Amino acid sequence: MKLQFIRKYWGPWNWRKFAREERGEGKDLFKELSNLDRSILVAGCQRSGTSILTRALVQSPELSKFRTNDDNELDGAYILAGIGTVDESKRYCFQTTYLNESYVEYFRHKGEYQLVWLIRNPYSVIYSMLYNWLRYPLNELFQSCGIGSLTKLEKEKYLRYGLLKIPPIKRACYAYVGKINQLIEIRQALDDSQLAVVDYDDLVTNSQGILSALCDFLGLTYRFDYSNIMNLDSLRKAAMLTNTKRQIVQRICQSSYDDARLLLTIK
Protein backbone atom coordinates (compact mmCIF):
# COMPACT_ATOMS: atom_id res chain seq x y z
CA MET A 1 0.00 0.00 0.00
CA LYS A 2 2.86 2.39 0.78
CA LEU A 3 4.27 1.84 -2.73
CA GLN A 4 0.88 2.63 -4.22
CA PHE A 5 0.75 5.99 -2.41
CA ILE A 6 4.36 6.79 -3.34
CA ARG A 7 3.50 6.33 -7.03
CA LYS A 8 0.49 8.63 -6.61
CA TYR A 9 2.60 11.52 -5.34
CA TRP A 10 6.07 10.97 -6.77
CA GLY A 11 5.61 8.74 -9.83
CA PRO A 12 5.68 9.94 -13.46
CA TRP A 13 1.91 10.58 -13.49
CA ASN A 14 1.24 12.00 -10.05
CA TRP A 15 -0.69 14.51 -7.94
CA ARG A 16 2.32 16.75 -7.34
CA LYS A 17 2.78 17.19 -11.08
CA PHE A 18 -0.94 17.86 -11.50
CA ALA A 19 -0.92 20.48 -8.74
CA ARG A 20 2.15 22.19 -10.19
CA GLU A 21 0.82 22.31 -13.75
CA GLU A 22 -2.97 22.57 -13.45
CA ARG A 23 -3.75 24.35 -10.18
CA GLY A 24 -3.41 28.06 -9.56
CA GLU A 25 -4.95 31.40 -10.32
CA GLY A 26 -6.74 31.52 -13.66
CA LYS A 27 -6.82 27.73 -13.99
CA ASP A 28 -10.11 25.92 -14.62
CA LEU A 29 -10.03 22.43 -13.14
CA PHE A 30 -13.42 21.71 -14.75
CA LYS A 31 -12.55 23.09 -18.17
CA GLU A 32 -13.91 20.04 -20.01
CA LEU A 33 -17.01 19.55 -17.88
CA SER A 34 -19.35 21.59 -20.08
CA ASN A 35 -18.53 19.31 -23.03
CA LEU A 36 -19.48 16.13 -21.15
CA ASP A 37 -23.20 15.45 -21.01
CA ARG A 38 -24.73 14.76 -17.57
CA SER A 39 -21.47 13.97 -15.78
CA ILE A 40 -21.58 12.56 -12.26
CA LEU A 41 -19.11 13.92 -9.70
CA VAL A 42 -18.38 12.07 -6.45
CA ALA A 43 -16.81 14.07 -3.64
CA GLY A 44 -16.42 14.39 0.12
CA CYS A 45 -13.59 14.44 2.60
CA GLN A 46 -10.67 12.20 1.70
CA ARG A 47 -10.77 8.73 3.34
CA SER A 48 -14.57 8.79 3.40
CA GLY A 49 -15.22 5.98 0.92
CA THR A 50 -15.53 8.04 -2.27
CA SER A 51 -13.33 5.62 -4.22
CA ILE A 52 -15.51 2.66 -3.28
CA LEU A 53 -18.70 4.51 -4.15
CA THR A 54 -17.27 5.60 -7.50
CA ARG A 55 -16.28 2.01 -8.32
CA ALA A 56 -19.82 0.88 -7.53
CA LEU A 57 -21.45 3.53 -9.71
CA VAL A 58 -19.23 3.02 -12.76
CA GLN A 59 -20.51 -0.55 -13.05
CA SER A 60 -23.70 0.96 -14.46
CA PRO A 61 -24.18 0.27 -18.19
CA GLU A 62 -25.02 3.97 -18.71
CA LEU A 63 -21.50 5.02 -17.70
CA SER A 64 -18.28 4.63 -19.66
CA LYS A 65 -14.87 3.83 -18.20
CA PHE A 66 -11.80 5.92 -18.92
CA ARG A 67 -9.06 4.62 -16.61
CA THR A 68 -5.58 4.67 -18.13
CA ASN A 69 -3.25 4.67 -15.08
CA ASP A 70 -3.13 3.39 -11.48
CA ASP A 71 -5.20 6.26 -10.06
CA ASN A 72 -8.70 6.66 -11.47
CA GLU A 73 -9.28 9.97 -9.69
CA LEU A 74 -6.08 11.43 -11.13
CA ASP A 75 -7.03 10.25 -14.62
CA GLY A 76 -10.37 12.00 -14.23
CA ALA A 77 -8.72 15.16 -12.91
CA TYR A 78 -6.63 15.46 -16.06
CA ILE A 79 -9.66 14.81 -18.27
CA LEU A 80 -11.76 17.45 -16.50
CA ALA A 81 -8.89 19.95 -16.77
CA GLY A 82 -8.91 19.47 -20.54
CA ILE A 83 -5.94 17.11 -20.77
CA GLY A 84 -6.81 13.60 -21.91
CA THR A 85 -9.26 12.09 -24.35
CA VAL A 86 -12.80 10.86 -23.78
CA ASP A 87 -15.81 10.34 -26.01
CA GLU A 88 -17.96 13.43 -25.42
CA SER A 89 -21.08 11.54 -26.50
CA LYS A 90 -20.82 9.20 -23.49
CA ARG A 91 -21.57 9.72 -19.81
CA TYR A 92 -18.87 9.56 -17.14
CA CYS A 93 -18.47 9.49 -13.38
CA PHE A 94 -15.50 11.37 -11.86
CA GLN A 95 -14.18 11.31 -8.32
CA THR A 96 -13.41 14.92 -7.34
CA THR A 97 -12.24 14.90 -3.71
CA TYR A 98 -9.02 16.52 -4.96
CA LEU A 99 -10.62 19.94 -5.47
CA ASN A 100 -9.95 20.95 -1.85
CA GLU A 101 -9.49 24.76 -1.82
CA SER A 102 -10.73 24.87 -5.42
CA TYR A 103 -14.24 23.73 -4.46
CA VAL A 104 -15.56 27.01 -5.94
CA GLU A 105 -15.40 25.13 -9.24
CA TYR A 106 -18.68 23.49 -8.22
CA PHE A 107 -20.31 26.94 -8.20
CA ARG A 108 -18.71 28.14 -11.43
CA HIS A 109 -20.05 25.14 -13.32
CA LYS A 110 -23.42 24.90 -11.60
CA GLY A 111 -25.96 23.00 -13.70
CA GLU A 112 -23.41 21.02 -15.72
CA TYR A 113 -23.27 17.92 -13.52
CA GLN A 114 -24.84 15.96 -10.67
CA LEU A 115 -22.83 15.82 -7.45
CA VAL A 116 -22.82 13.01 -4.88
CA TRP A 117 -21.20 14.12 -1.62
CA LEU A 118 -20.24 11.33 0.78
CA ILE A 119 -19.87 12.04 4.49
CA ARG A 120 -18.50 9.59 7.06
CA ASN A 121 -18.21 9.48 10.83
CA PRO A 122 -15.07 11.42 11.83
CA TYR A 123 -13.55 8.62 13.93
CA SER A 124 -13.17 6.34 10.90
CA VAL A 125 -11.94 9.18 8.69
CA ILE A 126 -9.35 10.44 11.17
CA TYR A 127 -8.10 6.92 11.89
CA SER A 128 -7.62 6.29 8.18
CA MET A 129 -5.86 9.62 7.66
CA LEU A 130 -3.43 8.88 10.49
CA TYR A 131 -2.69 5.20 9.83
CA ASN A 132 -3.58 4.45 6.19
CA TRP A 133 -2.22 7.57 4.51
CA LEU A 134 1.09 9.31 3.89
CA ARG A 135 1.85 12.57 5.68
CA TYR A 136 2.20 14.49 2.40
CA PRO A 137 -1.49 14.23 1.36
CA LEU A 138 -2.59 14.83 4.97
CA ASN A 139 -0.49 17.99 5.18
CA GLU A 140 -1.67 19.16 1.77
CA LEU A 141 -5.31 18.63 2.78
CA PHE A 142 -4.83 20.45 6.08
CA GLN A 143 -3.11 23.41 4.44
CA SER A 144 -5.77 23.73 1.76
CA CYS A 145 -8.88 23.07 3.87
CA GLY A 146 -8.09 23.00 7.57
CA ILE A 147 -6.20 26.15 8.53
CA GLY A 148 -9.35 28.23 8.70
CA SER A 149 -10.69 26.06 11.53
CA LEU A 150 -7.69 26.51 13.83
CA THR A 151 -8.15 28.35 17.11
CA LYS A 152 -6.54 31.78 17.33
CA LEU A 153 -3.64 30.45 19.41
CA GLU A 154 -3.11 27.45 17.13
CA LYS A 155 -3.08 29.70 14.07
CA GLU A 156 -0.46 31.95 15.66
CA LYS A 157 1.70 28.91 16.39
CA TYR A 158 1.21 27.57 12.88
CA LEU A 159 2.12 30.89 11.24
CA ARG A 160 5.22 31.19 13.39
CA TYR A 161 6.51 27.61 13.53
CA GLY A 162 4.73 25.72 10.75
CA LEU A 163 3.22 22.24 10.68
CA LEU A 164 5.25 20.84 13.56
CA LYS A 165 3.22 22.84 16.06
CA ILE A 166 -0.03 21.23 14.88
CA PRO A 167 -0.13 17.51 15.76
CA PRO A 168 -1.18 15.18 12.93
CA ILE A 169 -4.47 14.30 14.61
CA LYS A 170 -5.43 17.97 14.77
CA ARG A 171 -4.39 18.48 11.14
CA ALA A 172 -6.71 15.63 10.20
CA CYS A 173 -9.57 16.91 12.39
CA TYR A 174 -9.42 20.47 11.10
CA ALA A 175 -9.22 19.25 7.50
CA TYR A 176 -12.34 17.17 8.14
CA VAL A 177 -14.18 20.19 9.54
CA GLY A 178 -13.08 22.28 6.55
CA LYS A 179 -14.55 19.74 4.14
CA ILE A 180 -17.86 19.68 6.02
CA ASN A 181 -17.96 23.47 5.83
CA GLN A 182 -17.56 23.19 2.06
CA LEU A 183 -20.52 20.81 1.90
CA ILE A 184 -22.67 23.29 3.84
CA GLU A 185 -21.87 26.00 1.28
CA ILE A 186 -22.49 23.66 -1.63
CA ARG A 187 -25.82 22.50 -0.21
CA GLN A 188 -27.02 26.10 -0.11
CA ALA A 189 -26.01 26.68 -3.73
CA LEU A 190 -27.21 23.52 -5.49
CA ASP A 191 -30.80 22.42 -5.84
CA ASP A 192 -32.21 19.00 -4.96
CA SER A 193 -31.93 17.72 -8.52
CA GLN A 194 -28.19 18.35 -8.62
CA LEU A 195 -26.89 17.29 -5.18
CA ALA A 196 -27.21 14.02 -3.27
CA VAL A 197 -25.69 13.71 0.22
CA VAL A 198 -25.05 10.20 1.53
CA ASP A 199 -23.44 8.83 4.71
CA TYR A 200 -20.86 6.11 4.08
CA ASP A 201 -21.92 4.19 7.18
CA ASP A 202 -25.50 4.07 5.86
CA LEU A 203 -24.17 3.02 2.48
CA VAL A 204 -22.29 0.06 3.95
CA THR A 205 -25.01 -1.12 6.35
CA ASN A 206 -27.84 -0.67 3.81
CA SER A 207 -25.93 -0.87 0.54
CA GLN A 208 -28.74 -2.15 -1.65
CA GLY A 209 -31.28 0.40 -0.42
CA ILE A 210 -28.90 3.39 -0.59
CA LEU A 211 -27.35 2.43 -3.95
CA SER A 212 -30.76 1.74 -5.48
CA ALA A 213 -32.05 5.17 -4.37
CA LEU A 214 -28.85 6.84 -5.51
CA CYS A 215 -29.03 5.22 -8.94
CA ASP A 216 -32.62 6.43 -9.27
CA PHE A 217 -31.46 9.96 -8.44
CA LEU A 218 -28.68 9.77 -11.04
CA GLY A 219 -30.75 8.09 -13.73
CA LEU A 220 -28.68 4.90 -13.65
CA THR A 221 -29.69 1.25 -13.82
CA TYR A 222 -29.20 -0.51 -10.48
CA ARG A 223 -28.16 -4.14 -10.14
CA PHE A 224 -27.88 -6.06 -6.87
CA ASP A 225 -24.22 -6.93 -7.48
CA TYR A 226 -23.21 -3.25 -7.22
CA SER A 227 -23.19 -3.66 -3.44
CA ASN A 228 -20.71 -6.55 -3.47
CA ILE A 229 -17.70 -4.25 -3.09
CA MET A 230 -19.02 -2.72 0.16
CA ASN A 231 -17.10 -4.00 3.17
CA LEU A 232 -18.62 -4.08 6.66
CA ASP A 233 -15.12 -4.45 8.13
CA SER A 234 -14.45 -0.81 7.24
CA LEU A 235 -16.89 0.24 9.98
CA ARG A 236 -14.52 -1.10 12.64
CA LYS A 237 -12.12 1.79 12.16
CA ALA A 238 -14.39 4.03 14.22
CA ALA A 239 -13.47 2.08 17.36
CA MET A 240 -9.72 1.77 16.71
CA LEU A 241 -8.56 5.17 17.97
CA THR A 242 -7.21 5.51 21.50
CA ASN A 243 -9.46 7.17 24.06
CA THR A 244 -7.29 10.29 24.03
CA LYS A 245 -7.53 10.62 20.26
CA ARG A 246 -11.26 9.90 20.31
CA GLN A 247 -11.75 12.77 22.74
CA ILE A 248 -9.89 15.13 20.39
CA VAL A 249 -11.97 13.97 17.43
CA GLN A 250 -15.18 14.36 19.40
CA ARG A 251 -14.29 17.87 20.53
CA ILE A 252 -13.26 19.15 17.09
CA CYS A 253 -15.33 17.12 14.63
CA GLN A 254 -18.50 15.70 16.18
CA SER A 255 -20.67 18.83 15.86
CA SER A 256 -19.64 19.23 12.21
CA TYR A 257 -20.59 15.63 11.50
CA ASP A 258 -23.92 16.15 13.24
CA ASP A 259 -24.54 19.20 11.03
CA ALA A 260 -23.65 17.20 7.93
CA ARG A 261 -26.09 14.44 8.90
CA LEU A 262 -28.88 17.02 8.78
CA LEU A 263 -28.09 17.56 5.09
CA LEU A 264 -28.56 13.92 4.03
CA THR A 265 -30.81 13.52 1.02
CA ILE A 266 -30.59 9.72 0.74
CA LYS A 267 -30.79 7.62 3.91
3-state secondary structure of 17: helix
Buried b (16+ CB within 10 A) or exposed e, 130-159: beebeeebbbbbbebbbbebbeeeeeeebe
CB within 8 A of 235, min separation 6: which ones?
124, 201, 204, 205
Query: Is residue 109 domain-resident?
Result: yes
Looking at residue 3, what is its pLDDT?
Answer: 40
Number of structural domains the chain divides into = 1
> Could you tell me if residue 162 is inside a domain?
yes
Angle, to 10 degrees, between the axis of helix 122-131 and the axis of helix 243-261? 130
Q: Is residue 2 domain-resident? A: no
Please tell me the predicted confidence (pLDDT) of residue 7. 47
Q: What residues contact residue 225 under an 8 Å CB cut-off, 6+ apart?
A: 59
The answer to whether position 104 is within a domain reads yes
Domain region containing 33 = 7-261
Task: Give the model's pLDDT for residue 20.
Answer: 85
Residue-by-residue DSSP string for 127-179: HHHHHSS-HHHHHHHIIIIIGGGS-HHHHHHHHHH-GGGS-HHHHHHHHHHHH
**103 in a structural domain:** yes
Q: Is residue 167 part of a domain?
A: yes
Q: If you count them, how many residues does the chain have?
A: 267
Phi, psi of 42 (to 5 degrees): -115, 125
pTM equals 0.92
Q: Which candidate, 60, 59, 61, 98, places its Cα nearest to that of 78? A: 98
Q: Is residue 1 part of a domain?
A: no
- CATH code (residue 167): 3.40.50
pLDDT tens string, the chain, 267 residues long: the values are 444 444 454 444 688 888 888 887 778 999 999 999 899 999 999 999 999 999 999 989 999 988 666 678 999 999 999 987 888 889 999 999 999 999 999 999 999 999 999 999 999 999 999 999 989 899 999 999 999 999 999 999 999 999 999 999 999 999 999 999 999 999 999 999 999 999 999 999 999 999 999 999 999 998 877 667 777 777 788 889 999 999 999 999 999 999 999 999 999
